[in-house]
Amino acid sequence: MSAPTPLPTDRSIVVTGGASGIGLAVTTLLLSEGVPVAVLDRDASALARLRDAHPGARLLAQEVSVTDAAAVDRAVERAAKELAPLWGVVTCAGIVRDRTILKMTEEDWRAVLDVNLSGTFFALRAGALRMKELGGGRMVAIASIVGLRGGFGQANYAASKAGVVAVVETAAREFGKHGITVNAIAPGFVRTPMTAKYGETLEEACKAESPLGTVCEPEDIARSVRYLLSPEAGHITGVVLRVDGGQAIGA
């Protein structure tokens, strides 16, 4: 057995939602290893902070909504041309609009499906179009344990994440012949700007559900993403990896 192989630095990785939370942790980890990273995010000020934090890095931070298929396609094309041929796509862009089913508006339903599910589909498709001629690559989509077990007040979010798993399993079948692996990570509660709005009560409840009794940080997810992007994970595809401190099985 030898030491882990470094990630390729002559190929680029696209990270959607890469300017905040889990995506930002992924971007930061990849840049620290010299991997060229293209971030697609809709938050202009977070993108500006990211650029400022990494002067001179091989970073292309683009303001794009993942709900716009043509814009995603252009942004991925630009990454492949201006940074390096694509090695991977990591989809982290996501939103929540929690309400119980009887109170959920059509707009709440559609907005979450549009970003979380359609946005993931558009990014994976745009990546595969460029990666299929390159002899292999990696795709990692951030799902959620809520997509595996439902979530009170989260019918839209749970459906979107269950859909992400279905897209991942389908893409794994379709892209395998090109040497592209496609996997999902299903986090439980992670401390990010998205979950900050829920306050400490949810954090404590989720901690109590975890056999480890700990709270997941974005860097914990980023390290798992990095593994699935690595050459060592070349025989893993179509998997949903729960990275949740055991939250889904319960304490």
Q: Given its phi and psi angles, is residue 228 left (phi above 0), alpha (psi -120 to 50 degrees) or beta?
A: alpha
Q: Is 144 in the site for ligand NAP (CB under 6 A)?
A: yes
Tell me how far, at minimum, the Cβ of 185 lies from ligand NAP, in Å.
8
Three-state DSSP state, 88: strand
Q: Which stretch binds ligand NAP (CB under 6 A): 27-35, 53-61, 129-137, 192-200?
A: 192-200
Q: Which residue's structure tokens are 């909504």?
A: 65
| Binders in 2-31 for ligand NAP, by CB under 6 A | 16-17, 19-23
Catalytic residue, chosen from 87, 122, 157, 175, is: 157
Nearest to 150 by CA among 213, 100, 88: 100
- Residues 6 or more apart from 31 whose CB is under 8 A from it? 37, 54, 57, 58, 59
What is the rounded distance in angstroms from the CA atom of residue 143 to the CA atom of residue 93? 10
Q: Is 240 in the site for ligand NAP (CB under 6 A)?
A: no
Question: Could you give the string, one character per residue 67-106, with x where binding to ligand NAP holds by CB under 6 A and - elsewhere?
Answer: x------------------------xxxx-----------
**Cross-strand pairs, 139:** 89, 182
Q: Which stretch binds ligand NAP (CB under 6 A): 103-111, 115-123, 172-180, 225-233?
A: 115-123
The rounded Cα 100 to chain-centroid distance in angstroms is 25
CB atoms within 10 A of CB 218: 22
Whether 198 is a known active-site residue: answer: no
Tell me how far, at minimum, the Cβ of 223 lies from ligand NAP, in Å.
15
What is the rounded distance in angstroms from the CA atom of residue 203 to the CA atom of residue 208? 9
Task: Indicate which single residue of 118, 189, 222, 226 sits in contact with ligand NAP (rule: CB under 6 A).
Answer: 189
Just list the catalytic residues.
157
| Residues at the interface with ligand NAP (CB under 6 A) | 16-17, 19-23, 40-43, 46, 65-67, 92-95, 115-116, 119, 142, 144, 187, 189-190, 192-195
